[in-house]
Amino acid sequence: MCITINIVTAQGDSLNFVEITAEKQPNMTILRVALDVPLSTLFDYKVDAAIVLEIGQRVVVPFGRKEVVGIALEWVVESDVADAKLKSVLRVLDDVPPLPDELLTLLKFCSEYYHYPLGMTLLSALPTRLRAVEPMSLKQAQSYTLSVAGQAALLNELAKRRPVQQRILHALQHAPMSGAALRNLATTAPAALKALLTAGWVETCRPSPSVTHVFNNAHALTHEQQHAVDAVTQQAGFACFLLNGITGSGKTEVYVHLMDAMLQRGGQVLLLVPEINLTPQLEHYFRSRFPDVELVSLHSGLADGERAQNWLKAQSGAARIVLGTRLSIFTPLPKLSLILVDEEHDTSFKQQDGLRYSARDVAIFRANQRGVPIVLGSATPALESWHNAHTGRYTLLQLTQRAVQPAALPVVRCLDTSQLPLQEGLSEPLLTAIETRLQRKEQSLIFINRRGYAPVLMCTACGWLSECKHCAGKLVLHLKDRTLRCHHCGAQQRVPHACPTCGDADLKPVGMGTQRIEEALQARFPEARILRVDRDSTRNKGAWDAMRKQIHDGEVDILVGTQMLAKGHDFPNLTLVGVLNPDGGLYSADFRASEKLFAQLMQVGGRAGRADKAGEVMLQTAFPTHPLFQALRAHDYPAWAQILLAERQSAGFPPFMFQVLLSAEAKQEGEAMAFLKKARSAAVELKKQVEVYSVIPATMPKRANHYRAQLLVQSNNRKSLQNFLREWKPQLDAMPTKQIRWSLDIDPLEF
Ligand code: ADP
Ligand code: ZN
Ligand code: ZN
């Protein structure tokens, strides 16, 4: 049984999709199963009368010569497959409860909106462990309570136990507690708990759903914060709020108060964050605010088993706060009552392969589906979100002041590199400013978005440049291990002693990377303790954590790093941020480049002077009068957004247009182009209300030995674009594409 329902997306467009219903009719004996195969169809199987199964359960079925896991989606009366050929479901995985209808409906919407096969969509949303044919073994969430012996011991003050054991006994005096809450009492709590269990003073019990929770309310909210909290908590049903707060304005504090309100109502809260690097820190932080609330995190840094267990805790409703990166938007949450998206403008919410979804957009859809509020937080919202807030689709909540007085916003200055000489990429005023910080024992951060020593190596005699054989890019010089490396395909070679073309030995690094800046600063300030933070220096597990500690403990004077340093870190003794050569983002072919640059500079600038010390930001640029820098100096995101929106409107770009990008790549030059040209003709012949652009080479026209090209189609109406895609996609599927890989990207962020 399927009912077509009509849903209006948060963006205000109405879309039809099919809701999945679960009941089995008496004469329906054939099961439609979703499998992880690149076809837009479901697969039919017979079900033995003895097998009991529900829609949403995982089943093991024969497929080709293999046994694979699928998801039971619907019952039907008959199949197109001849009865004799129809195979049977082998077994049902009833280790975990079936996927709820709500999640199936959400994934079905994603499959239709992103034009990606339903089976692949459904299975890619499951934790790896649940995609395996072996059943999961479930760990029950444990709670602990005092045993009779434990109570007696405590009463008779027999409890001459170690301090941490003592603390556990006292904590359990009032009520049973979860393992997670007990672990929060001390780092050695797990060992102490074990000792108490062995002694028979503590025993396990079934967790009882708690109605009350502890909330460590650290601050009285500012007026602006209180207004934001009230607006969301007073909302009945769906609404999308855009929380636009300058860095340090206390957005996190707003999230915490919202969580408290929703927990009081017995709900679950989902917080999406962009970076897996940040999740452990945030997890720790939220646990400290809600010490007895079950909180789980979900991100790709977890081991498969742990991730599956956390997912199940969310599904059972036991986990009240779920903190995760983009994939966690597909977690079943029976009591979901609020979704928070932190740094909503961050492009890592967009998946760049497979199901190319935007977790933020899916989150809005999900909140709408569930009838709950959603809050998008950012200092520099995506223009799409800002636009929606101004057309009234979202409610704008603003935090215009820093929460901690007197922390003022940093002073932003441009250093004109067309006038000032540079030594190894650094101007004298910047070096002087660093020197002052060294004298005052404060920290400086030098931000340069290029890792390696130099972006390219050049022969001064013949002009040879180090190029990648496999890509249309340059090999980056890494001096630490004397290699030339391609940052696109990973190819690596040793630095040649002489020019491969003319044999001249005078090879020069051109341009600046983090390693070169580190070296230049060390030469200038031999006493300074310099730390480089980029993907190379943080490759080893735990490296970045250790570095963060070093910075906090004041063991570092100067930080040199890429955007890794820009995000969400709070270094109280940091008072200077220097930005080297941001100019590439000003006049880029990518129409989003300047939007991204502004967000990045606001974010990195926000690192300066957060506590009681004033901060300073120095930008080395050849275009100091560019409006981007003017807005940055004035800390005026709204002014900048207005300029960009006007540009986008006159150029006909998002958010005024909706786009789809068809990309193709092939080993033979010209094949991708040829495929796209055919696709283009098909698109034009459909005569839909869409603009079909010309086929062009991709921004990176060759990568890892594949030639790449793309075709952009856009419309000023999301629904028209979807109507077009529904007819175009089957035509693409039918085209012979043996040597070609292609993909559709709906609402693309990268070209
Ligand atoms: P944002 O996420 O907006 O950059 P944070 O939430 O990290 O800002 O808050 C910045 C700092 O201000 C933190 O140290 C936080 O503890 C503090 N803070 C937040 N709200 C308040 C408040 N109402 N009163 C005092 N301090 C606050
Ligand atoms: Zn040469
Ligand atoms: Zn390469």
Hunting for tokens 């996927």 — which residue is that?
99
Q: Read off the pLDDT of each residue in 374-381 and give the average, rounded to a whole number.
A: 97
Q: Is the CB of 569 under 6 A from ligand 1?
A: no
Ligand 3 centroid, distance to 483 Cα (angstroms): 14
Give the CATH number for residue 544.
3.40.50.300
Is 250 near ligand 1, meaning CB less than 6 Å away? yes
Cα 398 to Cα 378: distance, rounded to the nearest angstrom: 10
Classified as helix, coil or strand, 218 is coil
Q: Are 617 and 715 in the same domain?
A: no
Whether residue 548 is contained in a domain is answered as yes
Is 40 part of any domain? yes
Q: Which residue puts its alpha carbon closest to atom 24 of ligand 1? A: 219
Greater pLDDT, 208 or 426: 426
* Residue of 286, 404, 409, 573 to mutate, ligand 1, most atoms within 8 A of C-beta: 404
Is residue 181 in a domain?
Answer: yes
Q: pLDDT tens across 347-367, in order?
A: 999 999 999 999 999 999 999
Q: 518-534, pLDDT tens digit by residue? A: 999 999 999 999 999 99
Distance CA 141, CA 309 (A): 9
Question: Are 53 and 120 in the same domain?
Answer: yes
| Contact 401 CB / ligand 1 (< 6 Å) | no
Q: Which domain holds residue 692?
A: 658-746
Helix, strand, coil % over all residues of the chain, rounded to 5: 30, 25, 40
Least confident of 474-488, 551-565, 599-613, 695-709: 599-613
Nearest Cα residue to 2 out of 74, 66, 63, 106: 74
CATH code: domain of residue 65: 3.40.1440.60
Distance CA 442, CA 337 (A): 43
Q: If you measure from the C-alpha of residue 448 to the centroid of ligand 1, how many angstroms do you get, rounded to a whole number?
A: 27
Residue 504: nearest ligand to its CA?
2
Confirm whether 564 is domain-assigned.
yes
pLDDT at 121: 97
Contact (Cβ atoms closer than 8 angstroms) between residue 261 and residue 436: no
Q: Which atom of ligand 1 is nearest to the CA of 220?
A: 23
Shared-domain flag, residues 678 and 736: yes
Lowest mean pLDDT among 43-57, 74-88, 154-168, 420-434: 154-168
Whether 215 is in a domain gets the answer no
User: Is the beta carbon of 221 within 6 A of some atom in ligand 1?
Assistant: yes
Residue 502: nearest ligand to its CA? 2
Which is nearest to 750 in space by CA: 582, 588, 563, 592? 592
In a mutational test of the pocket of ligand 1, which residue from 249, 253, 613 has the highest number of ligand atoms less than 8 Å from its CB?
253
| Ligand 3: centre distance to CA 478 (Å) | 15
Please state the rounded mean pLDDT for residues 490-511: 96
What is the pLDDT confidence band of residue 325, given thresholds at 50, 70 and 90? very high
Identify the CA nearest to 479 among candidates 527, 447, 516, 508. Answer: 516
Q: How far is the CA of 58 from the centre of ligand 3 (A)?
A: 41
Domain limit, last residue, from 131, 158, 191? 131
- Cβ(602) to ligand 1 under 6 A? no
DSSP secondary structure letter of residue 611: S
What CA dihedral angle connects 702, 120, 333 and 276, to 10 degrees?
A: -30
Which residues, 6 or more positions from 656, have their beta carbon under 8 angstroms from its beta carbon?
Answer: 387, 648, 649, 716
Q: What spacing in Å lies between the alpha carbon of 302 and ligand 3's midpoint?
A: 30
Give the mean pLDDT of 14-39: 69
- Which residue has tokens 């931000």? 447
Dihedral (CA of 154, 157, 161, 162) sign: positive
Going by DSSP bridges, is the β-strand pair 696-703/706-715 parallel, antiparallel, or unpaired? antiparallel
Count the domains in the chain.
5
Task: Inform me whether the pLDDT recorded for 339 exceeds 60.
Answer: yes
How far, rounded to the nearest angstrom, does the alpha carbon of residue 308 sit from its chain's CA centroid?
A: 19
User: Measuring from atom 20 of ligand 1, which residue has the nearest CA?
Assistant: 250
209: confidence class by pLDDT, cuts 50, 70, 90: low
- CA–CA separation, 87 and 106 (whole Å): 29
Whether 448 has a pLDDT exceeding 50, the answer reads yes
Q: Would you say residue 15 has pLDDT above 50?
A: no
Final residue in a domain of this structure, among 622, 645, 668: 645
Mode of pairing for the β-strands spanning 616-621 and 268-272: unpaired
On the question of pLDDT at 16 being above 70, the answer is no
From 217, 252, 635, the mutation candidate for ligand 1 (largest count of ligand atoms within 8 A of CB) is 252
What does the pLDDT read at residue 23?
A: 54
Q: Verify whether ligand 1 is closer than 6 Å to residue 654 (CB atom).
A: no
486 in any annotated domain: no
Of the candidates 344, 106, 107, 370, the residue with the CA atom closest to the CA atom of residue 238: 370
Nearest ligand atom owner, CA of 281? 1
Distance 402 CA to ligand 1 centre (A): 7
* φ, ψ of residue 474 in degrees (nearest 5): -95, 155
User: How many whole angstroms from 698 Cα to the centroid of ligand 3?
Assistant: 15
- For residue 338, give the DSSP letter: E
Cα 483 to middle of ligand 2, angstroms: 18
Question: 683 and 735: one domain?
Answer: yes
Beta strands in 161-201 (DSSP E): 177-178
Same-domain check for residues 666 and 633: no
Q: State mean pLDDT over 337-354.
A: 96
User: Does residue 85 register a pLDDT over 70?
Assistant: yes
Q: Closest-lying ligand to the alpha carbon of 473?
A: 3
Q: Within this chain, do residues 25 and 172 fall inside the same structural domain, yes or no?
A: no
Interatomic CA distance for residues 665 and 700, integer angstroms:
11
Give distance in angstroms: CA of 659 to centre of ligand 1.
37
Weakest-pLDDT range from 18-32, 76-90, 139-153, 193-207: 18-32
Comparing C-alpha atoms, which of 87, 91, 89 is closest to residue 79? 87
Ligand showing the shortest atom-to-Cα distance for residue 405: 1
Of the listed ranges 154-158, 284-288, 670-674, 730-734, the least confidently predicted one is 154-158
Pocket lining: 701 vs ligand 1, CB cutoff 6 Å: no
Distance separating alpha carbons of residues 294 and 287, to the nearest angstrom: 9
Residue 247 CA: which ligand 1 atom is closest? Answer: 4
Among residues 352, 360, 330, 359, the alpha carbon closest in space to that of 108 is found at 330
Q: Is 315 in the pocket of ligand 1 (CB under 6 A)?
A: no
Per-residue pLDDT at 542? 84
Q: How far apart are CA 229 and CA 354, in angstroms?
A: 37
- pTM for the model: 0.88
Nearest residue CA, atom 15 of ligand 1?
250
Q: Is residue 214 part of a domain?
A: no
According to the model, what pLDDT value does residue 375 have? Answer: 98
The reply to whether ligand 1 has any atom less than 6 angstroms from the CB of 346 is no
Is residue 13's pLDDT more than 70?
no
Residue 449 CB partners (closer than 8 Å, separation 6+): 562, 563, 582, 600
With a 6 Å cutoff on the Cβ, whether 403 touches ligand 1 is yes
Q: How far apart are CA 126 and CA 551, in angstroms?
A: 38
Ranges assigned E (strand) in 648-695: 658-666, 691-692
Q: Is the pLDDT assigned to residue 20 strictly greater than 50?
A: no
Which range, of 38-47, 562-571, 667-676, 678-687, averages the lowest pLDDT?
562-571
- Which is the closest atom of ligand 1 to the Cα of 225? 23
Look at residue 512 and tell me whether its pLDDT is greater than 90.
yes
Atom of ligand 1 nearest to the CA of 246: 3
Say how far apart CA 361 and CA 113 lie, in whole Å: 11
The residue whose CA has the least distance to atom 5 of ligand 1 is 250
Question: 237 and 352 share a domain?
Answer: yes
- Pocket lining: 491 vs ligand 1, CB cutoff 6 Å: no
For 322, residues 6+ apart whose C-beta sits below 8 A from its C-beta are 268, 269, 270, 271, 295, 296, 297, 298, 310, 314, 328, 331, 333
Residue 109 in this model has a pLDDT that exceeds 90: yes
Please report, to the nearest 10 degrees, the dihedral formed by the alpha carbons of residues 111, 117, 121, 123 taken in order. Answer: 150
Residue 39 has pLDDT above 50, yes or no: yes
Q: Which ligand is nearest to the CA of 705?
A: 3
CA dihedral 271, 276, 280, 285 (to 10 degrees): -40
CA distance 519 to 510: 15
Mean pLDDT of the chain: 90
Rg (C-alpha) for the chain, rounded Å, is 29
Residue with the smallest CA separation from ligand 1 atom 9 is: 250
Q: What is the atom index within ligand 1 of the atom nearest the CA of 249?
A: 3
- Do residues 147 and 126 both lie within one domain? no
- Do 323 and 437 fall into the same domain? no
Q: Given the structure tokens 């040209």, which residue do they identify?
A: 677
For the chain, give the percent of residues with pLDDT over 90: 72
Find the mean pLDDT for residues 130-152: 81
pLDDT level of residue 5 (50, 70, 90 thresholds): very low
Q: Which of 31-40, 274-283, 316-325, 668-677 has the lowest average pLDDT?
A: 274-283
Our answer on whether the CB atom of 252 is closer than 6 Å to any ligand 1 atom is: yes
pLDDT classification of 139: cutoffs 50, 70, 90: low
User: 3-state SS of 93-140?
Assistant: ECCCCCCCHHHHHHHHHHHHHCCCCHHHHHHHCCCHHHHCCCCCCCCC
Residues 391 and 319 placed together within one structural domain of the fold: yes
What mean pLDDT do residues 295-307 have?
Answer: 92
Ligand (nearest to CA of 475)? 3
**C-alpha 641 chain-centroid distance:** 23
- Could you tell me if residue 650 is inside a domain? no
Ligand 1 mean position to 608 CA, how many Å? Answer: 15
Residue after which a domain boundary falls, among 354, 375, 399 = 399
Whether residue 170 sits in one domain with residue 313: no
- Residues 680 and 719 placed together within one structural domain of the fold: yes
Structure tokens, 140:
């029950």
Cβ of residue 377 lying under 6 Å from some atom of ligand 1: no
Question: Tell me: the pLDDT tens digits for 143-190?
Answer: 788 888 888 877 776 556 778 888 888 888 877 787 777 877 787 888
State if residue 404 touches ligand 1 by the CB under 6 angstroms criterion: yes
